[in-house]
Structure 1
Amino acid sequence: MVEIKHLPAVNHEFPPLKNDLILRAARGERTERAPVWVMRQAGRYLPEFRKVREHHAFFDICQTPTLATKITLQPIQRYSGLLDAAIIFSDILVIPQAMGMIVEMPEGKGPTFPQPLAGPDDLARLKYPVDVDHELGYVYEAITMTRKELKGEVPLIGFCGSPWTLMAYMIQGGGSRGGFHSAKRWIFQYPAASKDLLSRITAVCIDFLIGQVRAGAQLVQVFDSWASELSPHDFEEFSLPYLTAIAREVKAGLQAESLHPAPMILYPKGANYALADLARSSGYDVLGLDWCIEPKVARGVVGDLVSLQGNIDPDILYGGREAIEREVKRMCEGFRSSSTEGPKGWIANLGHGITPGVDPDDMHCFLSCVHKYSRQTV
């Protein structure tokens, strides 16, 4: 589907890893407790992050490795001993930027594309092929720097957006509370052009993820944050083939470069109907769950084919300590119900990213409760 360029591997000297819990869980192994991290764990809910943002624009932080490293480490330092992974501070929209699109992040408004793709003729505006190492080398620098600064405390996760989710932003011009009508018009009115665009994005995602592992990422996640906008039929046609290509070609690329086989996580928000197909044929090692499916149901659907990640409702973090403890216990019991010998193939997380209004102390409570109640399974 896409052609991969194989670059020579870079030999980085990294400190030895002290906590491999998430790597073992991603491989489907039984662990002494569930490893835990949180999507958007380095972000606006942290006062130390907001302090940095007072002096630096969002994408300036992404594009400055020292700042991206500093932000990535903030939750690891604040919650030392409670988080089992760091995720590099970046954004899924660096890929549209690498393809030549302007993306702005106005304070309080979210991502904005001043010139979205209006029709198939606008594909001519995009860079293709993309020299990913040149355009996104700053992410690689941040990953290498962060991996060293972590000093082996926890593994480092790299990531990218899914082709469909990135396409939706590029056409819609940003996020949309009212639905991605413009993006969906493309798949219905211009299916061939849509698949052309999706293939181009897929090629960039593949190179980008391989480059992140080359730079030091130990796991990678693909965010299909807007899978929920697609019907099962349209997901099968306009998302699944490109997600599958990413998993297949990234793994082939890593093997060709003799790089470590970094586990791959897919977060297909709102596509619980596709879990069986994703588990059987997508090639990902871990499937992330939103909060709209019970853990026991999800495990029954996927069996032992993949590990699972998730899936408590992020808004529970606004419910107070008693509610957090109650719901974390319930989540742990749900994932435990399909296994009597301890956590197997489960990474604890929220069902979506942490939101800006969360009290950092409530995040601490959530992490502590995961440690407490997932450990009770052994």
Structure 2
Amino acid sequence: MSQLKNDLIIRALKGEPTERTPVWMMRQAGRYLPEYMVLRRKYGFFERCQTPELACEITLQPVDIIGVDAAILFSDILVVPQAMGLEVQLVESVGPILPDPIKNTNDLNRVRVPNVDETLGYVFDAIKLIKQGLNNRVPLIGFAGAPWTLLCYMVQGKGSKTFDAAKIFCYTEPALAHQLLQMITDTTIEYLKAQAKAGADVVQIFDSWGGLLSPKDFEEFSLKYIRQIVAATKDIVPTIVFAKGAWHSLDAMAATGAHGLGIDWCITPKLARQFAGNNVTLQGNFDPAKLLAPIPQIKSEVNEMLTAFGPGRHIANLGHGILPNVPVDHAKAFVDAVKEFRHT
């Protein structure tokens, strides 16, 4: 493998010293960029995901336009339920719809652990193209949804603030829930290994709905499965776990051996470090809504955030995905502020 020209993120994840704090943004490839909107008007969502040339073009946009220290694959966590046999529609301004969600044993019989090369080959083709396009400028981050978050959509059938139906399914049909979670886990392990083989330099596991569970249930229905995924990937590729809202379990997440842990803006860097310990890199935790503040305010808030994290073992990021209405120059101001900052 040729040497990366900018390997700040890889070094930060391995706990090696870096000249400055590296930076990228969740959802940086997409909806706030005018260049992306041009493609969005021409092609459907899954068409963009499933056409390697389009996924490549979209992935490279923020590297060229914003100057981030890593590219993140343009894809979606719901390609995994699709590969497992469920229909997934993405309805503009409504969100994901799974018309035939899983409610019982019969429904579970429709789901399979697929051959990822056959069902998700387009993702690996995209990764190969992206790696050529990046030409070793920055690393490429691949990703997958955590099993609990995917179960939420597969059972609820659509997005939700609370995912009550998914939680009720876990509490009333625990055996079925665990069977489904294990199938998602097995698929995700093969999927992330194949991403790494195709050229992903880092992988991130997104548990967007981890914070809906109590600490005990988070262990039972989420962390138990994330642990298996991290164990299977961490020796192949640096691995980041981001469980939004589940910072009560940062110590247990650090114990998985993940290289990095994402945190949202609801916990202070100091407390996150106390919980997570010193052997893991923290990633975050700027509130995406603050990117709509005036640029001078963004810069001073970034400086405050970086000071709070202190030097080393930190990757600057947002505490969740960038909002569609963020002006491009504000996103760039965030990235530039991180790049200009030096710990004294």
CA-to-partner distance for each residue in 1:234-274, whole Å, 9 max, x for gaps? 001111110000011224xxx6xxxxx31000001000100
Does the CA contact (< 8 Å) of 2:15 and 2:280 recur in 1?
yes
**TM-aligned CA deviation for residue 283 of structure 1:** 2.1
The answer to whether residue 284 in structure 2 is matched with residue 301 in structure 1 is no
**TM-aligned CA deviation for residue 372 of structure 1:** 1.8
Does the CA contact (< 8 Å) of 1:265 and 1:284 recur in 2?
yes
The answer to whether residue 49 in structure 2 is matched with residue 83 in structure 1 is no
**TM-aligned CA deviation for residue 115 of structure 1:** 1.2
CA-to-partner distance for each residue in 1:161-208, whole Å, 9 max, x for gaps? 00000000111112113x101100111100111000000000000000
Name the CA distance, whole Å, in 2 between partners of 1:176 and 1:100: 22
SS of 1:90's equivalent in the other structure is coil
The aligned runs of 1:56-95 (5 Å cut-off) are 56-79=43-66, 82-95=67-80
Residue 356 of structure 1 corresponds to 324
Residue 269 of structure 1 corresponds to 244
**TM-aligned CA deviation for residue 303 of structure 1:** 2.0
Name the CA distance, whole Å, in 2 between partners of 1:129 and 1:83: 35
SS of 1:105's equivalent in the other structure is strand
The answer to whether residue 75 in structure 2 is matched with residue 100 in structure 1 is no
Residue 286 of structure 1 corresponds to 260
**TM-aligned CA deviation for residue 15 of structure 1:** 5.2
The answer to whether residue 125 in structure 2 is matched with residue 141 in structure 1 is yes
Residue 125 of structure 1 corresponds to 110
TM-score normalised by the chain length of structure 2: 0.98
**TM-aligned CA deviation for residue 285 of structure 1:** 0.8
The answer to whether residue 204 in structure 2 is matched with residue 221 in structure 1 is yes
SS of 2:320's equivalent in the other structure is coil
Does the CA contact (< 8 Å) of 2:141 and 2:201 recur in 1?
yes
Does the CA contact (< 8 Å) of 1:317 and 1:363 recur in 2?
yes
Does the CA contact (< 8 Å) of 2:239 and 2:260 recur in 1?
yes
Residue 304 of structure 2 corresponds to 330
Does the CA contact (< 8 Å) of 2:233 and 2:239 recur in 1?
no
**TM-aligned CA deviation for residue 329 of structure 1:** 1.1
Say how many residue pairs are matched. 344
Name the CA distance, whole Å, in 2 between partners of 1:120 and 1:182: 16
The answer to whether residue 164 in structure 2 is matched with residue 181 in structure 1 is yes
Query: Over aligned residue pairs, what C-alpha RMSD do you find?
Result: 1.1
Name the CA distance, whole Å, in 2 between partners of 1:310 and 1:193: 35
The answer to whether residue 337 in structure 2 is matched with residue 377 in structure 1 is no
SS of 2:142's equivalent in the other structure is strand
Name the CA distance, whole Å, in 2 between partners of 1:181 and 1:129: 26
- Aligned-pair identity in percent equals 49
Q: Where does structure 1 differ by over 2 angstroms across 4 or more consecutive aligned residues?
A: 118-121
CA-to-partner distance for each residue in 1:94-136, whole Å, 9 max, x for gaps? 000000111111111111111111223210111x231111100
Name the CA distance, whole Å, in 1 between partners of 2:138 and 2:13: 14
Name the CA distance, whole Å, in 1 between partners of 2:73 and 2:308: 30
Residue 344 of structure 1 corresponds to 312
**TM-aligned CA deviation for residue 77 of structure 1:** 1.0
Name the CA distance, whole Å, in 1 between partners of 2:142 and 2:220: 26
Name the CA distance, whole Å, in 2 between partners of 1:245 and 1:327: 37
Residue 7 of structure 1 corresponds to none
